Amino acid sequence: MFRRSLGANQGMIFPYGPPQQVSFWMKNTLIPLDMIFVRPDYTIARIATAKPLDESPVPSGEPVIMVIEIAGGRAAELGIRAGDSVVPPPPCCKH
């Protein structure tokens, strides 16, 4: 929140356990973000590009174990799509 920039290779991870349906919004977020919703099998359920300051909910649409936020448009730049796999964190860091 309140960030004015986010580097191309920077982001945030929001882990959830147990898997659950979640919603995010962009209140007080000044830059566009790609929200990558990750299923329990580490595949991407969906990617949503959220607009700055938009308070409309952005739902996962199904139970997820994490949401990864990166700079808006970066997922497309990297060719990341729904159905792609995410590398699970090492055992020391799993939730």
- What does the pLDDT look like over 52-73, one tens digit per residue? 999 999 999 999 999 999 999 9
Can you tell me whether residue 76 is helix, strand or coil?
helix
What average pLDDT does this structure show over 39-48? 98
CATH of domain 11-86: 2.60.120.1140
- Residue 91: phi and psi, rounded to 5, are -55, -30
Report the distance separating Cα 15 and Cα 79, nearest Å. 23
Model confidence pLDDT, tens digit, residues 12-36? 999 999 999 999 999 999 999 999 9
Residue 45 has pLDDT above 60, yes or no: yes
Domain boundaries, the chain: 11-86
Q: What is the pLDDT of residue 89?
A: 77
- For the question of whether the overall pTM of this predicted structure is more than 0.85, the answer is yes
